[in-house]
Structure 1
Amino acid sequence: MSRPVYLVDGARTPFLRARGRPGPFTPVDLAVQCGRPLLMRQPFEATAFDLVILGCVNVVQDEMNPARVAALRLGMGEKQVAFTVQINCGSGMQSIDTAYRYIREGSHEMILAGGTEALSHAPLVYSREATEWYGELARAKGPLDKMKAMADVRPDFFSPVIGLERGLTDPITSLNMGQTAEVLAHRFGIDRTTA
């Protein structure tokens, strides 16, 4: 059975310029700041939703399910079911598509769906070699073992990279999303005027 699905309302926050340090907002902060006025405009209570779906790539460790945390902070009730989806830059669109399908198929009546991101909160990660070295250092028993472990240190062990940079780089081709777009544009003859 298929039934009509209606997109009732929408909202967004402005983009903020990168400042070279973690920004003042987490993904949930942005979702709540966007969602609060959206919910206030509706003629029904925030608890009337069947489900909340949020897309988020850069999940902050203190908000592992941003959809659930945002739903609670938006006053949608403790019984509100909420889950987060991640499909890189398509996460927000995936949440809307999933909501559309659930409503179309009749399993849900009303869903709050969207995407949220705060990229300045991406964690810093160390290389596998550096992580193994830190592990050896932590397992070292006594000063002599610690000195042996210290002899294997390399300067690059103290240079973490932004986790999101690694996360958005394809592990098969070693290309990030921008590089992939350039390859595809070249291969299929797409220039900026036709894009």
Structure 2
Amino acid sequence: MSRGAVKARKRPQPKRRASIGKWLGFGIPIAGIVGLVLFGVLSSGPDEAVVSSAAPDFSLPTTDGTMVSLQDLMAQGGDVLLYFSMGVGCDGCFAQIPEIADDLAAKEITFAPIMVNPADQVAADAARFGITTPILIDNSRKVSSAYGMIGVYGHADRPAHSFALVGKDGTIKWVHHYAKMFVPADEFMKDLGSSS
């Protein structure tokens, strides 16, 4: 046989096999994360069940200790917008208050932010943002729970960024949960306008 006629034999390459353990070690955590994200997204969102129902009554202290009830807020004559937020640790939540306060006042909507953090911490952050709107304190989370605001978007112990509009007749006219922690005024007012 001539040299040119000899075919070079290729050595068989060893097959690379990933062990089942490696695949499971990688796949199980990824599947778990995907599952948690899907659960959070699918189990959250607007709670339409409370719309058209009677608004739960409450009386809560502000950061300075003044007691304010839903009836006090409704006595101002217009609709009442309750804003349930994460509060301390969420700068966007505090920035939201002055962002929409003037637009709400122009529409004669009484605005009542509600937070679950200790009053002194809320007052400190409110001062940092120059907020003059009274913020109600729901340490027990009873009011937030009564309005269906706990557990939204995976926050088991506090509200996310949620709103409930209580009409002059005392019924809930609109509920909206935002996945983001700050909503520009024009976008928010457009969403709120869809409640009429």
TM more than 0.5: no
In terms of fraction of residues, the more strand-rich structure is 2
Q: TM-score, normalised by structure 1?
A: 0.23
Relative contact order (C-alpha < 8 Å, sep 6+): which is higher? 2
